[in-house]
Structure 1
Amino acid sequence: MQIVDKFAEDYAVGQVRQTLGRTITEADVVLHAGQSGDFFPHHMDERWCVEEAGLGGRIAHGTLIIAVAVGMTAGDVNPQAMSYGYDRIRFIKPVLIGDTITVTAEITAISDHPRRPELGRVDELVTVTNQRGDTVLSLVHLYVVTKRGES
């Protein structure tokens, strides 16, 4: 992990980051079920998923995939930025146990913070794909970022 100061002025619309892959395991799903309390059969009951729901297998929690995807893009720590939230979260296709996901993050907008002139806001479109190239999740990650020279 690298610590890098990156100010609002250092971002540019169109900048793209791409991660390596990460395979979602049964341990990931079971641990997330325990942490979240979500033990729905979609995540925990293989027989139900295949025979009754026709899902092809147990699926990972959407909230698990959000957490993993955001974590996959967090390799560099920027002391000048903080997550401001997430918009337009869409679970497009299910992620099955054993699927490998990759993440692309693209800066789509940069603006001034509406109430704090020392901050900018950066919007990053996060797209998660599986090993077949199918988009499985999309969201916009919002950041507030310190402007250079105005701390």
Structure 2
Amino acid sequence: MEWFEDLVLDKVERFGSYAVTREEVLDFARKYDPQPFHLDDAAAAQTHFGRVAASGWHTCGMTMAMIVKYQDERGHQGLGSPGIDELRFLKPVYPGDTLTCEREVLEKRVSASKPDMGIFRTRVRTLNQHGEAVLSYVANAFVQVRPG
């Protein structure tokens, strides 16, 4: 089990692996972000993307899937989040890419109103198979404080 007390400031942890498939990119785009450069090869070729690219929102979802899997593996019980800051889509994500994540805890404190919960800020970066950052954000999240 990972508790608030186990979070180490300034430590960078790399984790996850997510293979981006064309089918998933197209399916997400059809449902949630139906812009031509996410759906159509010819339309995408006419843009700076050059080919069909994943939606930034899809990249956020793939990142979240890796985070939850990582938390599950560590026995971390996430308690939700009051929000995200500084969300940046840095590079396109393409079918065939393989993504990984990095997490760095920037700050942490025990909640004044709920002392059984800790609040921490973490910088999350999603990287492609070349080690290039494709997504970055700062998340605020709640975690359980160790009892006693």
Alignment match, 1:40: 35
Structure 2: where are the runs of 5+ without partners? none
> Which residue matches 1:130?
128
Q: CA deviation at 1:73?
A: 2.2
The aligned residue for residue 74 of structure 1 is 68
* Deviation at residue 122 of structure 1 after TM alignment: 1.4
Report the Cα offset of residue 149 of structure 1.
Answer: 2.2
Q: 1:59 aligns with which of 50, 53, 68?
A: 53
Are the aligned partners of 1:73 and 1:105 in contact in 2 as well (CA < 8 Å)? no
Residues 1-36 of structure 1, C-alpha deviations (whole Å, 9 max, x = no match): xxx2x2212212023321243221111112212432
Tell me how far 1:80 sits from its aligned partner.
4.2
Greater share of residues in helix: 2
Structure 1 counterpart of 2:15: 19
8 Å contact 1:57–1:97 — kept in the other structure? no
- Hey, what's the Cα distance between the residues in 1 that align with 2:114 and 2:16? 35
Q: Which residue type is aligned with residue 40 of structure 1?
A: Q
Q: How does 1:110-149 map to 2 (within 5 A)?
A: 110-149=108-147
Give aligned pairs, total.
144
Distance 1:49 1:11, change over 3 A: same
Partners of 2:105 and 2:44 lie apart in 1 by 37
For the residue of structure 1 that corresponds to 2:79, the secondary structure is: strand
SS for the counterpart of 1:137 is strand
Q: Distance in 2 between matches of 1:86 and 1:35?
A: 23
146 and 19 in structure 1: CA distance in 2 versus 1, 3 angstrom threshold: closer
Give the C-alpha shift of residue 111 in structure 1.
1.5
User: Matched residues, percent identical?
Assistant: 27
